[in-house]
Amino acid sequence: MTNTSIASRNKIRIAQQFSRAANTYNSAADVQLDIAFDALAYLPSHYQNGLDIGCGTGRISQQLSTRCDRLIAMDLAFGMLAYAQKNNVVADPSICWLQGDADCLPLADDSVDMLFSSMALQWADNQQKVMAEITRVLAAGSNAILAIMCDGSFKQLNDTWLNIDNHRHVNNFATAQSWCDAARSQGLQVNMQEKRYVTWHQDIRKLLSSIKSIGANVVLKSQNLEPTDARLHQGKNLLNRETLQHLETYYQQKYAENRQLPLTYQVCFLHCSK
């Protein structure tokens, strides 16, 4: 299978899984909301034309729309966009909802002066292509604020799975520095910060459910490795009672504090200017 077809299939799976999670996302995505609000703090002023890449259910898009005259809220998952449009309390004529891919933004060159993305770009398989597209659509003097999951995320879960079998059940996240380098290679000025967030869960089922409920339970295939399609809720061969018990026991013994299981989100914040 070619790299192109693998990437295309990954995108289809990502879009499908997040679309399925649209109805449960807001109730489960507490840490994602915290991260997005932290990212918003890097936006100091008002803009004319904004772009929100990976807008999801539109919670942050509504915040962003108060900071720009016009906002394009874009997501790969049509189900997320449909939910966002249907469930926004007040219809906002300044927001345009758009299905699109960060690898190939459906926008003209130099068309936005503010670009925002929180917890979406880690799904991209080509950092250089994404940053080239971001640079292309940014007008001179504009800003991009990007919050991206990076290396170190889900480290406890990955370690626990590695104790059980040889399959890959957690995605390999790129390093913060590699994202920073990709942005700088396109000529952007970049300031980078990293921050660690930890969520706590009563047991392994609730921990895995916290990932599934936001649609993030897709393990991407690569040209080098064809892993089990580890959608964490399916397949008795993958998550039978015995496997769950092994996960629970190891996780509790190695990582539990006060009988709660931690899950780490390592996030890099890139403030880019053109």
8-17 pLDDT per residue, tens: 888 888 888 8
Kindly report the pTM of this predicted structure: 0.89
Q: What is the pLDDT of residues 104-146, one digit of tens each?
A: 999 999 999 999 999 999 999 899 999 999 999 999 999 999 9
CB 203 within 8 A of CB 261: yes
pLDDT grade for 236, boundaries at 50, 70 and 90: very low
- Residue in 183, 196, 97 with CA at minimum distance from that of residue 155: 196
Contacts of 249 (CB under 8 A, 6+ apart): none
Q: Tell the residue number behind the tokens 């406890």, with chain if given.
A: 156
Q: How far apart are the C-alpha atoms of 193 and 128, rounded to whole Å?
A: 20
The tens digit of pLDDT for each residue in 198-235 reads 999 999 999 999 998 887 777 776 644 444 444 443 33
CATH topology of domain 3-273: Rossmann fold (3.40.50)
- The residue ranking higher by pLDDT, 240 or 98, is 98
| pLDDT number for residue 214 | 83
Judge whether residue 21 has pLDDT over 90: no
Residue 267 predicted with pLDDT over 90: yes
Determine the 3-state secondary structure of 98 from DSSP: strand
| Dist. CA 81–CA 75, nearest whole Å | 7
Q: Which residue has the tokens 């004319």?
A: 48
Three-state DSSP at 7 gives helix
